[in-house]
Structures are given as structure tokens and as C-alpha cells.
Amino acid sequence: MSIDTSRMRNIGISAHIDSGKTTLSERILFYSKKIHAIHEVRGKDGVGATMDHMELERERGITIQSAATQVTWKDHTINIIDTPGHVDFTIEVERSLRVLDGAVLVLCAVGGVQSQSITVDRQLKRYNVPRIAFVNKCDRTGANPFKVQMQLREKLGLNAVMIQIPIGLEDKLEGVIDLITMKAVYFDGDQGETIRLTEIPAHLKADAEKRHEEMIDAISMFSDELAEKFLAGETVPEDMIRAAIRKGTLAEKFVPVMLGSAYKFKGIQPLMDGIMYYLPNPTEVKNYALDLDNNENKVELSSDEKNPTVALGFKLEDGQYGQLTYVRIYQGKIKKGDELVNTRARKKFKVGRLVRMHADSMEDINDGDPGDIVALFGIECASGDTFCGGNLNYAMTSMFVPNPVISLAVTPKDKKSADQMAKALNRFTKEDPTFQTYVDPESNQTIIKGMGELHLEVYIERMRREYKCEVETGMPQVAYRETITQKAEFNYTHKKQTGGAGQFGRVAGYMEPYAEGDYEFVDMIKGGSIPTEYVPSCDKGFKEAVKKGSLIGFPIVNIRCVINDGQSHPVDSSDIAFQSAAIGAFREAYGKAKPVILEPLMKVSVEGPTEFQGNIFGSINQRRGIILSSVEDGLFSRVEAEVPLSEMFGYSTTLRSLTQGKAEFTMEFEKYSKVPQSVSEALIKEAESKKKKER
């Protein structure tokens, strides 16, 4: 069945955590007859909301993975993606917004514009996504949608205008007044399914007229005809008002504000009408691809089904039936049996099974239309790959992937868990670009990196549940180094006599600090006291010795070893003998050269609202950090600092609690620097007790 693209909407529901996104999605599914019973997010029935289909999501009452579904409302097809609100799962929001044409920004009538609303708004602006604002929870004590509208203007810089006002608030919320039709809208029946339109109550008439005029005044800049009628004092027709609101919304210069209470079944149907009236269909959004055969020039895609296919795989899921790839079709159609090319991997594949998703259940379909969001089964690809038909070689611009900021060491408890852990990590890294894993070459630990402690916690829990894999987690080992601070001489003779030929080699010289690199070997032998063929053996021995320092057992850096004398034996000298002599000489002198421990220093950049600058400074000072600079830019400020890596564990959580979740930070390796005496003593003590245990 072919869908009329102009009657299609691809929308996301995004907001701060706990604003009621999932509850709102559940109501939309119910009113569009997609589900027949409503379940609550933290419902007593233990079922959980439809869109929160993971067991973990239902337990914690949060959304972890974005879920997609399709509903029909008044002969319009709406693809909906419910996205997580928690900052740790920000990639789910990024990839959803990358493929959506419009969004509903849900705000809490009590909390207003919260930290995550600011992040989501930044993401919407990054992908130029027009939005409707929906002020939810108007039934809660302290609800004030007018305050939320002001915050949208002040904090997010949006031209937000009410197109509805409430009839009563808090526990007296009865319905809404539609400022376009100037009618009162009530929601009757147990679940608000019956809509009743009446005249505006007398006590609200004056306020409604004042707000109506404000709205007309705000949208008159998008329609000259409407402005003329308004100035002449004539009545402006409803369809003209809607056309002007639509024009302003699509240009991202206007944000209509609607309100209600999803939990109390109020205001949802008008919001669905609003999605239909004011958000763009796929033909109204300009999408571009890069032509890989033509210097990566930008090419505008058309949503004509006769053109060759261009689609973007924006999300992967490994289910019980194999890999599922969510695809947004930008141009052309996808039919069962079509041959497409993955332009990144340059691989052809055949479309075997094509499905439409409804949270975690699916229905088979034969084709997907331009603008549609469908899923493909069993194709090998990565998140963000472009699929093309015909002879096209296009790539869609990929989404923004933030860098992981926190890491943990994971160790499987037994052999079976080790195999399962490898499988799980392989799958998770493929699905989620912000989740990374590697094996530390020094400590041999498996390290996982992610966006926050909750992010990693959820993946460890998923390993346990989905892969029956028990792992122990610990702080990742910091890669310390050792070095020397002064010159020390050595003169060491290695002698070993066994039956037959023995071992003999004498090495003399000195070691000194070397700032130019990690290690240098200098041969200053005169008169052949060590035969030329054994000089490389001495180098080999020193190299072996610097691999492990004697303070805490980490590699030694910034050292130069110089040999200037020695002695050999015509029979007993050998490659091994001189290697051993060099190792012995190194150990003899290392203790005399006043060794110290070096730690990695990270360059940390913290960005957040200026009001929290004092808290940010304090948090860095507590972590032995040195603040290098601080820049204020309007309401935001950026602090640059150098902080030891060992002090940065758990910082993301601390920073969030200090700044109400409004600040974020990035860090990268800067240099190695000497650890303070007290820290050095603690590290040496810890290394000694570890050695004792191993014995």
C-alpha cells in the first residue's frame, strides 16, 4: 500500500528526563487505535509502557533505547520515535533527530526548561528540526505553563507563543481553550476519548481574547494577507492562521506552545492535530547527500519514488532473529528483492525481509515509500551507513557522536562468561557509537568507555541478563610511568659458571635523565673492551630493564644509558651474558638515580552556565587540578584545566550534581608529570602489598 508522502510526518518526542515523553507516546498510540489498553511507565500492573520494551527500562522507569512506531491519525501517517531523556543516552537522541523532520519538545509545567531540555534544543538546532512545544503535567501542583513559555523565550531563545491556554490548573485542570478556533475543548469519558467543544467560559473570555491577539500579532510577520486583515480589524479565518503558524514553524522562527496532561488524558488529540497541521512532511525538508564520485559535492535529494534509492541506516539492534537495521528512506523506494549498495563498505546486498516496527514487535511489508522509516533484516552494516540504488555513490552526512568521558575495567568471572562478554561487547559497540571498548596493552584489562556511569551500568546489566555473563568491574588502571632525576654510574660484572662454558660480561658506564624521548642508548666504548658484536646485546638488555621499574612496576621513560667500558672473555662471553650484564648494571644504578613516579595529566575543558563557575573551580581544585584559563561567553563559561587522570574517575557524576546536570566536560591526554610525595608513597605501598599477595 503506497502512502501519500504529503500526508506523512516523521516526528520525535524528546525532552528532559521525567517530563512524560513515554506517557505521551502511550496516549498517542491509544487515541490512534494502535493499542487498546494503556499501561503506565511505572504502572502497578507491572506491564510498563509499550515504548519501553526492554525489561531494564520497565524496572527503572526510564527510556534507554529510542523506540519507533507508526500510527494513523485523520488519514495522516505519523512515524514516531520516543527518545530517552537521560544525558547518558544522548546518542539515541542524536541519531533519532538526524532522521526526523519535526519534533515535539515536551516540557514539565512545574520544572519548565530543565538542563536536558537545553541539550535537546541544541541538538534540534544542530539538525534544523522544527518543533512544537507541549507543556505536560498541567495537573501537577505548582504547574505554570505561562512561566514555561517565558523560559522557552529566555533560556532557549525561541519565539514561543501560546496557541492554547488552560481551563483551570493543577487539580482543577478541566481542558484547554483553542486560541485559533476560540473554543473551549473538554475531554470526556474515562480516558478522555470523547472531545466536547463549547463556548469559552465567561471568566476566561477576556484573557483568551488578549492571548488570541498576541498570537495573531506574532504570526502576522509570516503572512502579509493575515497582517492586513488584522490591522483592518477583520476576523482572520482559521485556515489562514494555521497556514501562517505552519510557515513560521517550518522556517524555525516560531514555536507553537500547546498544553495538557498526558497522565490525565487531556490535550493529546489537539496535539496530534498540531503535529498534522504544523510539522513538515518529508517533501518540505531539504535533505542533502555527498556525491562520492564528484569531490563530495552536496546533492539535494528529492522525495520522488521514481528516483534511485538513497537511505540512511541510523540505528542497529541485535535481536533474537539477527541484526535489525532501522532505515530512513530519503529518495526513491525500497522493495523486497531490491539490490542496494552500502557505499561505505562498497558491498552490494539484496533486500530480503522488510518490516515496520512497533516498539519491539514488527509487521512484514513489501515496500517502503520515500520519507518512510522502516527496518531491514540481516544486512551487514554499521550505524550511519548509506544505502543507494541505481549507480549512485552517495553518502549522507553522519550524525554528531560525542566522545566517551568515563571508563571502567571489566573482568569476566569464568571461561564461559569470557566468551559471552566478547560477543556482548562486539554487539554493543556496533549498536552504540558512544560505547567503546579496548584491551589495555599494559594491564591486559578490558576497558569499556561510555557517556556516564548510568550508561556503563546499563550495559553491564544487559550483559548479565541478555548474555548470562557475570563480570566484575573495577577502576581502570592508570598508566603511570617511572623516571630518574639524576645521573648514576654503574660497573657490573655478570659471572656464571656451570658445567662446560660459563657466562661472563662486564658493563660500565652511567645513566642520566633524557628529556628528548623515552629511551636512548649511547655506545662510547674505546679500544674494543667490549667486542662490537656484543654492543647491541647491551642495548637489548637495557631495553628489557626499562620495561618494568622497581618502584611500582611501570615502564621507565626519559632515560639515557651510556656504556664507556667493559670486559669480555674469549670463551665465556656471549649475547645472553652481555644482556644479563646490562640488566644487572641497570638495576644497580637505578636506585642511586633517585627514581620518581610520573602520572598522566589530562587537559580538561568544562563548559556550563556561568552561575556554576565557582562550583566548577572548586571541583577541579579538589582533584589536584591546575586551572589554566576561564572564558565567559554570555550565560555560558568555559574552564580549561590540567588534572591528573587518577582523579577524574567519577567526575561526570560529581559535575552533574554540582551544576544540576547543565555542565559537560571533555578530556584528552596532555603530558606526564611527577606525582606529589604523598601520592607516590601511597602508590609504592599499594604495589608492595600487591606483590606480597602474589607471593
Quick one: 164 and 291 in the same domain?
no
pLDDT of residue 43: 45
Q: Residue 441 is part of a domain; what is its CATH number?
A: 3.30.70.870
Tally of domains in the chain: 5
Averaged pLDDT for residues 338-347: 83
Q: How far is CA 148 from CA 109, 152, 176, 440, in A?
A: 7, 6, 16, 48
* Cell numbers 669480555: residue: 568
From 529, 562, 593, the end of a domain falls on 593
Which CATH number covers residue 121? 3.40.50.300
Question: pLDDT tens, 636-656?
Answer: 788 889 998 888 877 878 888
Is residue 627 assigned to a domain? yes
Could you say which of 269, 284, 299 is where a domain stops?
A: 284
Domain containing 654 — which CATH number?
A: 3.30.70.240
* pLDDT at res. 93: 66
pLDDT at position 426, please? 84
126 and 264 both lie in a single domain: yes
pLDDT tens-place string over residues 196-232: 899 988 998 999 999 998 999 898 888 889 888 888 8
Average the pLDDT over each of 58-72, 246-260, 559-573 and give the range with the smallest value.
58-72
DSSP 398: P
Whether residue 553 lies inside any domain: the answer is yes
Q: Are residues 115 and 26 in the same domain?
A: yes
430 and 368 belong to one structural domain: no
Cell numbers standing for residue 2: 503506497
In this structure, the answer to whether residues 110 and 258 fall within a common structural domain is yes
Which phi-psi region, left, alpha or beta, contains residue 521 (left: φ > 0; alpha: ψ -120 to 50)? beta
CB 400 within 8 A of CB 384: no
For residues 49 and 69, give the distance between their C-alpha atoms in angstroms, rounded to a whole number. 13
311-315, 575-579, 623-627: least confident range: 311-315
Show the domain range for 47. 5-174+254-284
Q: Quick one: 456 and 491 in the same domain?
A: no
Q: Which pLDDT band holds residue 618 (cuts at 50, 70, 90)?
A: very high
Of the ranges 81-85, 109-113, 324-328, 583-587, which one carries the lowest mean pLDDT score? 81-85
The overall average pLDDT reported for the chain is 82
Rounded to 5°, the CA angle 167-173-175 comes to 50
- Confidence bin at 53 (pLDDT 50/70/90): very low
- Please report, for the domain that includes residue 561, its CATH number: 3.30.230.10
Which carries the bigger pLDDT value, residue 96 or residue 377? 377
pLDDT tens digit string along 653-682?
A: 888 888 887 787 777 677 888 999 888 888
What three-state secondary structure class fits 400? coil
Residue 45 confidence (pLDDT) above 70: no
Amino acid at 59: E
| 505 plus 367 within the same structural domain | no
pLDDT digits (tens, 9 = 90+) for 452-506: 667 788 888 888 888 888 888 877 667 788 999 999 999 999 988 776 678 889 9
pLDDT in tens, 279-290: 988 888 888 888
Residue 30 within a domain:
yes
pLDDT tens for residues 394-446?
887 766 676 676 678 888 888 888 888 888 888 788 777 778 888 877 667 88
Residue with cell 652511567: 510
Within a domain: 216: no
Same domain, 559 and 577: yes
What is the predicted pLDDT for the residue at 320? 62
Handedness of CA 299, 304, 306, 312 (dihedral sign): positive
CB 384 within 8 A of CB 365: no
Spatial separation of the C-alpha atoms in residues 171 and 150, rounded to whole Å = 23
What radius of gyration, in Å, describes the C-alpha atoms of the chain?
A: 33
Mark whether 494 and 588 lie in a shared domain.
yes
Exposure string over 146-172, b if 16+ CB within 10 A, otherwise e: eebbebbeebbebbbbbbbbbbebeee
Contact between 503 and 494 under an 8 Å Cβ cutoff? The reply is yes
Q: Are residues 9 and 70 in the same domain?
A: yes
Could you tell me if 163 and 299 lie in one domain?
A: no
Give 301's pLDDT tier (boundaries 50, 70, 90).
confident
Q: Which amino acid is at 595?
A: P
Would you state the pLDDT for residue 427? 79
State the Cα–Cα distance between residues 340 and 350, nearest whole angstrom: 6
389 to 367, 459, 652: CA distances (angstroms) = 14, 36, 44
* In a domain? residue 523: yes
Residues 32 and 89 occupy one common structural domain = yes
pTM summary value: 0.66
Q: Is residue 243 part of a domain?
A: no
pLDDT class of 171 with cuts at 50, 70, 90: confident
The sign of the dihedral angle between the CA atoms of 127, 130, 133, 134 is negative
- Segment 540-547 shows an average pLDDT of 91
Q: Is residue 11 part of a domain?
A: yes
Average pLDDT over residues 257-263: 89
Query: What pLDDT does 441 receive?
Result: 72
User: At which of 561, 593, 625 does a domain end?
Assistant: 593
pLDDT tens figures, 89-103: 666 666 667 778 888
What are the beta bridge partners of residue 484? 595
Residue 146 has pLDDT above 60, yes or no: yes
Alpha-carbon gap, residue 53 to 617, rounded angstroms? 41
Q: What does the alpha-carbon distance between residue 258 and residue 248 come to, in Å, rounded to a whole number? A: 16
Give the CATH number of the domain where residue 302 resides: 2.40.30.10
User: Of the ranges 1-5, 443-447, 566-570, which one carries the lowest mean pLDDT score?
Assistant: 1-5
Mean pLDDT along residues 256-266? 89
Confidence of residue 342 (pLDDT cuts 50, 70, 90): confident
pLDDT of residue 493: 92
Max mean pLDDT among 56-60, 306-310, 434-438, 578-582 falls in: 578-582
| Residues 58 and 52 sit within 8 Å (Cβ to Cβ) | yes
Quick one: cell of 151? 523560559
User: Can you say whether the dihedral through the CA atoms of 258, 260, 262, 268 is positive or negative?
Assistant: negative
- Residue 190 pLDDT level (bands cut at 50, 70, 90): confident
* Residue 249 within any structural domain of the chain: no
